[in-house]
Amino acid sequence: MNKKSFGSRLVAAPYLVWAAIFIVVPLLIMAYFAFTDESGAFTLINLTEIGKYKKALLISICYAAAATVITLLISYPMAYFMTKMKISSQRMILVIVMLPMWMNFLIRTYSWITILANTGLINTFLNAIGLPKLQLINTPSAVILGMVYDFIPYMILPIYTVMSKIDNSLLNAASDLGSNGFSKLKRVILPLSLPGVISGITMVFVPSVSTFYISQKLGGNKTLLIGDAIEYLFNIGPDYYNVASALSLILMVMILICLAVMNKFSDGENGGVVI
């Protein structure tokens, strides 16, 4: 038993070292800067500066929530219909879903600029058929669209994974008991797929609320998100590292609270069929 335990610890050691160097140490550095001033003395004044960016934080939450809801509305039926396809078709759709993730994040975002720009593909087509151009780029809708496009695989994959494991005998039993399609969706599929939904919401909301590059390129810097504010402060110079770290710390705490709430909600579900 001791040998097995020692072997397990030995195998896990590289991962623990990696986590300590690239996760724990940066977090400690961030916390240090958040609670110190330029001279290194302890202070809480950095936290008082957060009030200046409460609008950016609120807008970030609203944008992330909108992108998460839209992503869920698209991903859930898509994942459901994928499970009804042949295995070969499911694999092909999975490759298509994951294909954008194999490309660089910057390239994916820039591709939407060529589509939504005033001289982009959509406005060029509208101009060709005699319709007026639309202001698509540098709008809140463009930012949310970019979030949905970049993060939708993180919603589809966990929902599909959970749905594909649902036993068909449960659906057959529901049919034998007189359930129609909507009833089976409400009482069987939705409760059993809820863990995948919560996982997908978490994996989409967290990067959306902290993103900054999408808003800069598709929003034209007209809307300041909390990620933009943090990046801007870090780029100004060392004098603003403390305030930027305080903002990052508050954002991290907010994200951890959201994760705790979602996990609590997930734990409260028994994952069974609703009778």
Which pLDDT does position 272 carry in this prediction? 45
Which pLDDT does position 274 carry in this prediction? 41
Which pLDDT does position 4 carry in this prediction? 56
Residue whose C-alpha is closest to residue 249's, from 97, 2, 44: 44
| Mean pLDDT for all residues in the chain | 88
pLDDT at 266 over 70: no
- Please give the residue that has the higher pLDDT: either 262 or 120: 120
- What is the pTM for the complete model shown? 0.87
pLDDT at 38 over 80: yes
- Domains of the chain: residue spans and CATH: 54-271 (1.10.3720.10)
Q: Give the whole-angstrom CA distance, residue 224 versus residue 247.
A: 14
pLDDT at 20 over 50: yes
Average pLDDT over residues 183-208: 90
pLDDT at 220 over 70: yes
Task: Decide: residue 108, CB within 10 A, 0-12 exposed, 13-18 middle, 19+ buried.
Answer: middle
**pLDDT bucket at 267, cuts 50 / 70 / 90:** low
- The distance from CA 256 to its chain's CA centroid, rounded to whole angstroms, is 14
**pLDDT bucket at 178, cuts 50 / 70 / 90:** confident
Q: Give the whole-angstrom CA distance, residue 78 versus residue 90.
A: 11
pLDDT, one tens digit per residue, over 58-73 is 999 999 999 999 999 9
Task: Decide: residue 115, CB within 10 A, 0-12 exposed, 13-18 middle, 19+ buried.
Answer: middle
